[in-house]
Amino acid sequence: MLFLTSSISSVAKHIHDTFLANKGYKTVLFIETAAELEIGEGDDAWFQADLQSLKDAGYHVDRFTFTGKTRDEIVSAVDEHDIVYMSGGNTSHLLQQFQKTDSLEIFRDKIQQGKPYIGSSAGSIIAGPKIPEYLAETDPRLEDYTALGLVNFAVAPHWGSEHFREEYVGKRIEIAYRDDQPPYILLNDTQYLYIDDQGLMQVIEIKV
C-alpha cells in the first residue's frame, strides 16, 4: 500500500480518514534524510508543517534519518513502526544516503512485503525506478540513479506551484520527452496517488 504525495501536509488527514483509520496503525517512522540539510536553516516551515500534519492525523511520529546508520539499525527502526514515511527535501542527497548505507533493498523488501509507505515530494520521487536526471546529472557523488522501484513511473511533484515554475518550464518538461526516462505523473500539492496491494492506482484530489 503506497501513498505518493506532493505535499503531505495538504493530504495527511484525508489519507488517514479514507484508507488507514480502520487499520489500527499507530506509529509512523518519519524519515527526514532528504530534508536533513535544510532542517533548522530558517526555511523549513514546509518540513514542520509536514511533521505536524501526521501528528494531527493521530499518529505517534518518530523522527529518524538513516544517514550514518548500520543495516541493523535501519531494519530495527522500520520493523518497530507501522508506517514508513519518506520526507521531501533533496532527492540526490536522499539517494546518496541510500547508496552509502546500502539500504535501498531493505526498504524495497519491507514495503513489498506489506509495510505501508507514504512519500512526499522527494520521498515520492525515490519510489520510482530511478530518480530523474534533472535532479542528479550534476551530482558526482551518486553511483547511479537507481531508486526504490516500487512503481514503474516517476512522480513530478509540485505541479502548478509558482516556486517550481522555472524547473518545470525548463528541465522537467524537456526531460519528459526523452525515451530513456520513465513516464511521468504530475502531482499538484493537493493531490496524491494511492496504489493498493494489487497495484491498482488512483489519483485523488483534495479540495481545500
pLDDT of 134 above 70: no
Tell me the residue range of the domain where 195 lies: 2-205
User: pLDDT tens digit string along 151-167?
Assistant: 998 888 876 555 655 66
Cell 548505507 found at: 101
CA distance 144 to 115: 26
CA distance 186 to 97: 26
pLDDT of 132 above 90: no
pLDDT band at 199 (very low <50, low <70, confident <90, very high): confident
User: pLDDT tens digit string along 74-116?
Assistant: 999 999 999 999 999 989 999 999 999 999 999 999 999 999 9
The pTM of the full predicted model, rounded to 2 decimals, is 0.89
Grid coordinates belonging to 82? 507501522
- In terms of C-beta density within 10 A (0-12 exposed, 13-18 middle, 19 or more buried), how is residue 24 classed? exposed
DSSP type of residue 130: B
What's the domain count of the chain? 1
Specify the CATH number for the domain of residue 159.
3.40.50.880
